[in-house]
Amino acid sequence: MSQSSILIPFSRAGDLKIQLTEHNHRYYVLDAPQVPDVEYDRLLRELQALEQQFPELKSSDSPTQRIGAPPLEGFGSVSHEIPMLSLDNAFNSDEMREFDRRVHERLKQSSDIEYACEPKLDGLAVSLLYRDGLLVRGATRGDGQKGENITQNVRTIGSIPLRLSGAGYPSVLEVRGEIYMPKAGFDKLNQNQRDKGEKVFVNPRNAAAGSLRQLDSRITATRPLEMCAYSTGWIEGDNSEQALPDTHTSRLQRLADWGFLINAEMAAVPNIEACLDYFDRLGKKRDALGYDIDGIVFKVNSHALQQQLGFVSRAPRWAIAHKFPAQEEITELLDVEFQVGRTGAVTPVARLQAVFVGGVTVSNATLHNRDEIARLGVKLGDSVIVRRAGDVIPQVVSVVLDKRPADAADIIYPLLCPVCESPVETLAGETVARCTGGLICGAQRKEAIKHFASRKALDVDGLGDKLVEQLVDEKLIAAVADLYSLELNQIVALDRMGIKSAENLLQALNVSKNTSLAKFIYALGIREVGEATARSLAKYFGNLPAITAADQESLKKVDDVGPIVAHFIFDFFQQPHNLEAVAGLQEAGVNWPDIEVAEENLPLEGLSYVVTGTFSQIKRADAKVQLQNLGAKVAGSVSAKTHCVIAGPAAGAKLTKAQELGVDIIDEDALLVLLRSHGVSL
Ligand code: JCF
């Protein structure tokens, strides 16, 4: 090979490295990719091939190093040149003001102290060492003095620069930060683990820890980890004096210039009261963030003042972590009860020793189904970790095996329905056990009536769950149609029922008789027929007799109706008692206007939306229903047919796909504008 033909691969490799490094930074740090994933992969494969052919091209800052290296025997040990400290905690505003008072006192300063505020990420602290801009070492915090050498693993994390960008950095620069797994990546990882029959992780923090502890960094490379820089450590050599400005916030800005991810919520505030405001504001935003946080870190913003303040034993005097209420707590599983739902599904519910978690007292949590109980390996009497995040229902996430009492007993699934004693069966391929009693079962009957009266169904004002239970228990009603023959004296005779409320209930029942075909179909509670499907059925068939007479083939022609749902609908109308119930309701006066099959076009007719990520001002489920009400189709996945993706924070693969396909993307605010512009009041 001639001189010049050797030079070509070398310059191409250099070019590829620069391009890939830039794409990587845009993707992982700036969150603004410029090329689709496939293009990145193509460039990476080209570089890999060149490095394979000419091994002298390989270097530790090559983007090919991010895919991981052969497994290690064990992690080496690293001594931190400057100890990695932890933070003191504050649990309320008084403790925060006390912290501020101590700072003032030490500094002998009476005027306001400026603080830097940032979310406290729930991950693992790491130290990254750069020599002349090249990443040479990554280490865990360990005990603060000595950590483990995880250089191979940190190289696989996209938001960690392998070489610093820009200029002016000190020749020795240690950057410290938190490695964590964003919520979206965590959910996807667990879904993958479940699909492969492998163990699922309890929470993003544990998943991050497990991923970082891999001796085989090729596994770490497949895990969606990120690193957010929060301080510098050891600094020496050229530029070490002038490289970094005085305030913490401007120092972090400098780290961002050199290629690091810093927290987007970071802010400087003038005094402690503003810190407390920041804490409240972020607390409200907590669930909408794409990552778990367990508090807010406040730091005296001036580095000069930080140095004056110094340290006590293991923590700096110039920083404090104001913690949020814990989202996970340990408590005891006292009992498991089995609840029967509207479709007969038998759901195990954990009765717990009451515990304060996520800001409320929790004494029940769902255990979902038999598979979940097996996965947790939970027994009666166990100590369990319960988690309640935001408005999500409390979950049992794991068992503390160390605390298992000797008499812990297996949880026995009932063979007979706890309410009606009909056999409970689990169909092949299903995880859900169901009571076979149908409407003989008091529980299913109660749930069917509750559903019928609910807001999105016939919307009987004032007929809540408790009242339905009372009416069924008192044998005043046994089925939905009976609601319409209730008499005033029967209702008044109920416990805690006044004459006015009874009259109002009768009035509301009367009003509810005037409904729409879609609401009526939804109210029947056919399995898998939600609001959207009910609406599609009403629109497609136009009248009830056409729906009750439809065979499965014609049902499948309706939007969103597949073979399974078609089967449930067909089956429902094959059963004489269901047809009787429908006739009974019509006899009682329930009615709806005939609708034209070809309805006038709704404003979003023919458009397909995908909703992804977390929202803070509207529930995702509500957003979907509102879009559907305007005629839009809301799909679960992005394709070339998607008209627009509505993405909140923590949007993952769907957002990436939309970017690749060039589909329009809007955020929550734009969605609200869209809905309001079509007359939706929010
Ligand atoms: O996000 C964190 N978990 C976090 C931890 C953020 C910080 O600014 C920290 C920290 C631990 C120690 N700062 C120090 C000094």
Distance (Å, whole) CA 561 – CA 540: 11
Q: Is the pLDDT of residue 272 over 90?
A: yes
Interval between CA 89 and ligand 1 midpoint (Å): 11
Per the rule left: phi > 0, alpha: psi between -120 and 50, beta: everything else, 657 is alpha
Q: Is the pLDDT of residue 487 over 70?
A: yes
The token pair that represents 279 in the structure block: 């804490």
Q: Write the CA distances from 137 to 134, 160, 251, integer angstroms.
A: 9, 12, 21
Tell the residue number behind the tokens 């995908």, with chain if given.
610
| Lowest mean pLDDT segment, chosen from 65-74, 211-220, 255-264 | 65-74
The SS3 assignment for 428 reads coil
Interval between CA 322 and ligand 1 midpoint (Å): 12
Distance (Å, whole) CA 130 – CA 289: 30
Interval between CA 177 and ligand 1 midpoint (Å): 7
**Looking at residues 210-218, what average pLDDT do you find?**
94
Residue 24: predicted pLDDT = 92
Distance (Å, whole) CA 155 – CA 137: 9
Q: Is the pLDDT of residue 373 over 80?
A: yes
> What is the atom index within ligand 1 of the atom nearest the CA of 123?
3
Residue 597: predicted pLDDT = 47
Distance (Å, whole) CA 459 – CA 438: 24
Residue 158 carries which DSSP code? T
Pocket test for ligand 1, best of 115, 175, 178 (most atoms within 8 A of CB): 178
Pocket lining: 230 vs ligand 1, CB cutoff 6 Å: yes
Q: How would you classify the pairing of strands 328-340 and 293-300?
A: unpaired
Residue 598: predicted pLDDT = 46
**Looking at residues 198-219, what average pLDDT do you find?**
91
Pocket lining: 651 vs ligand 1, CB cutoff 6 Å: no
**Looking at residues 406-433, what average pLDDT do you find?**
93
> What is the atom index within ligand 1 of the atom nearest the CA of 121?
1
Q: What is the CA radius of gyration of the chain?
A: 31
The rounded mean pLDDT for the chain is 91
> What is the atom index within ligand 1 of the atom nearest the CA of 299?
8
**Looking at residues 631-660, what average pLDDT do you find?**
86
Tell the residue number behind the tokens 């990520």, with chain if given.
613
Distance (Å, whole) CA 486 – CA 505: 10
Kindly name the residue from 17, 58, 108, 120 that is annotated as catalytic: 120
**Looking at residues 311-321, what average pLDDT do you find?**
92
Residue whose C-alpha is closest to residue 191's, from 180, 182, 200, 181: 200
Q: Is the pLDDT of residue 421 over 90?
A: yes
Q: How many residues does the chain have?
A: 682
Q: Is the pLDDT of residue 2 over 70?
A: no
**Looking at residues 383-391, what average pLDDT do you find?**
84
The token pair that represents 38 in the structure block: 């496939």
Q: Is the pLDDT of residue 3 over 60?
A: no
Q: How many Cβ atoms are within 10 Å of 562's Cβ, its own excluded?
A: 11
**Looking at residues 512-534, what average pLDDT do you find?**
93
pLDDT tier at 391, thresholds 50, 70, 90 = low
The separation between the first and the last C-alpha atoms of the chain, rounded to the nearest angstrom, is: 71
Q: Is the pLDDT of residue 600 over 60?
A: no
- Please tell me the residue having the least CA distance from ligand 1 atom 8: 230
Is-catalytic flag, 633? no
Residue 4: predicted pLDDT = 56
**Looking at residues 408-431, what average pLDDT do you find?**
93
Pocket lining: 141 vs ligand 1, CB cutoff 6 Å: no
Q: Is the pLDDT of residue 247 over 70?
A: yes
More confident call, 625 vs 441? 441
Sign of the Cα pseudo-torsion (489, 490, 496, 500, in order) = negative
Counting residues of the chain whose pLDDT is more than 90, the rounded percentage is 70
Interval between CA 228 and ligand 1 midpoint (Å): 10
Pocket lining: 262 vs ligand 1, CB cutoff 6 Å: no
- Please tell me the residue having the least CA distance from ligand 1 atom 9: 230
Q: Is the pLDDT of residue 224 over 50?
A: yes
Pocket lining: 451 vs ligand 1, CB cutoff 6 Å: no
Distance (Å, whole) CA 87 – CA 300: 13
Provide the H-helix boundaries in 139-237.
Answer: 151-155, 183-195, 204-212, 217-220
Residue whose C-alpha is closest to residue 65's, from 177, 210, 217: 217
Q: Are 645 and 654 in contact (CB under 8 A)?
A: yes
